[in-house]
Amino acid sequence: MSKATLIRTSLCVLGIATALSACSTDDPAAAANNAAGATNDAEAVSMDGRRFLSQPLVTEIFTADPSAHVFNGKIYIYASHDVDAGIPDDDLGTQYAMHDYRVLEMEKIGGPVKVGGVALDVKDVPWAAKQMWAPDAAFKDGTYYLYFPAKDKDGIFHIGVATSSNPMGPFKAEPKPIAGSFSMDPNVFTDTDGTSYMYFGGIWGGQLQNWANGKYDASIGVTDLKADDKPALMPKVAKMSPDMKSYAEAPRDAQILDEKGQPLLGGDHERRFFEGAWMYKRGDTYYLTYSTGDTHFLVYATGKSPYGPFTYRGKIMEPVQGWTTHHSIVDWGGKTWLFYHDTQISGKNHLRNVKVTELTFNPDGTIQTINPFRD
């Protein structure tokens, strides 16, 4: 990043330079896409020369896996805080060695983004040892809930919960993970009737395959997922108890079906669930959106119940820049927004930056696929 871009980016992020054309506009979609003010600079191109549609929301830290929520009219982004631990890439995500969370706050799309202090550190979570991966949050009765996956001292992922009276934290973790939780990438969705559900799970490094028989089985490896002609592993869904700290029921499969009503198969790598589930409701339609992982798509399936079944519909974003794809969808200001990440700043898969762009729908409710590049 050039010195000029770095200065302008920092000023925009700090909200000091709103008079600069790069970060002032009345159009929130344009502002979102210009968020870090680098759209005219040569640095805003990918390694293979393509110009990015949107710019990183913050540049002083690496952020990923954005779960956006509107609380009290402001937008809060609960994101992974990427760090470089010097661990080489592997199929199990060991290089994603995050140890704390920082919350981002925006009063409006395209406006300044505040980076909060440490909201939760792994050293303050009694049961957790490492790998604080993609979090989510919820609000109920004056309390903010931070949901987060981490590996315990035996290297097994569970999902924990921490609470705060402030959406930015700091959060205080419960002493144990949520009973019955496993794997990672929690998303807590509150339906229009006030009932909350947690969607979760991820294959490969997310360990969902290790729970295929109901309890953790370390002998099930990534290669065992190559049962291409069998139904794929599905994301899990469980209703939350009123206390928002426990499941009200055993997690069940959120079935994703093909156009013939058959479960997507394990070999259907371009459509099957990998990780990063996010539930978005529009009218009476439930959009189960997720990442296809190794094929690098953001896709969606729709259903008429929060439990599914969901029918695969198509791609939300294509292509994705960087290995991982993780996102959230939120309504704000009369529009719908897709928060996602790529690796524009670092060019490294484990050092990501979050972005936002507008998401639009066709009259029949299908999503218009976003190309994250301008060309």
Known catalytic residues are 65, 275
257-296 footprint of ligand FUB as x/- string (CB under 6 A): ------------------xx--------------------
- Which of 65, 136, 268, 358 is in the footprint of ligand FUB by CB under 6 A? 65
Q: How far apart are CA 129 and CA 145, in angstroms?
A: 20
- Tokens (6 digits) for 104: 């981002």
Phi, psi of 198 (to 5 degrees): -110, 125
- CB nearer to ligand FUB: pick between 28 and 93: 93
Kindly report the backbone phi and psi dihedral angles of residue 181, in degrees, each rounded to the nearest multiple of 5, phi listed first: -85, 150
Kindly report the backbone phi and psi dihedral angles of residue 13, in degrees, each rounded to the nearest multiple of 5, phi listed first: -60, -40
Closer residue to ligand FUB, CB minimum distance, 38 or 79: 79
Beta carbon nearer to ligand FUB, 96 or 280: 96
| Distance, CA of 338 to CA of 292 (rounded, Å) | 17
- Candidates 5, 95, 321, 324: give the one binding ligand FUB (CB under 6 A): 324
92-131: contacts with ligand FUB (CB under 6 A): 93, 96
User: Which residues, 213 to 242, sit near ligand FUB by CB under 6 A?
Assistant: none
Contact between 133 and ligand FUB by CB under 6 A: the answer reads yes
DSSP sequence for 289-337: EEE-GGG--EEEEEESSTT--EEEEEEEESS-SSS---EEEEEETTEEE
Q: x/- contact string, 167-196, with ligand FUB (CB under 6 A)?
A: -----------------xx-----------
The nearest distance, CB 324 to ligand FUB, in angstroms, is 4
DSSP-based three-state secondary structure for 28:
helix
Single out the residue of 9, 34, 63, 80 in contact with ligand FUB (rule: CB under 6 A): 80
Q: What angle do CA 151, 155, 157 make, to 5 degrees?
A: 40
Q: Which is nearer to ligand FUB, 33 or 324 (CB)?
A: 324
- SS3 letters for 117-170? EEEEEHHHCCCEEECCCCCEEEEECCEEEEEEEEEECCCCEEEEEEEECCCCCC
Return d(Cα 163, Cα 112) in angstroms, integer. Answer: 26
| Both tokens assigned to 137 | 């949050």
Interface residue with ligand FUB among 11, 35, 36, 64 (CB under 6 A) is 64
By the rule CB under 6 A, 161 interacts with ligand FUB: no
Q: How far is the CB of 52 from ligand FUB (least distance, A)?
A: 18
Query: Could you say whether residue 134 binds ligand FUB (CB under 6 A)?
Result: yes
* Per-residue contact string for residues 32-51; x = within reach of ligand FUB by CB under 6 A: --------------------
Minimum Å distance from CB 320 to ligand FUB?
10
3-class state of residue 186 by DSSP: coil
SS3 of 66, please? strand
Binding site for ligand FUB (CB under 6 A): 64-65, 80, 93, 96, 133-134, 184-185, 202, 275-276, 324, 326
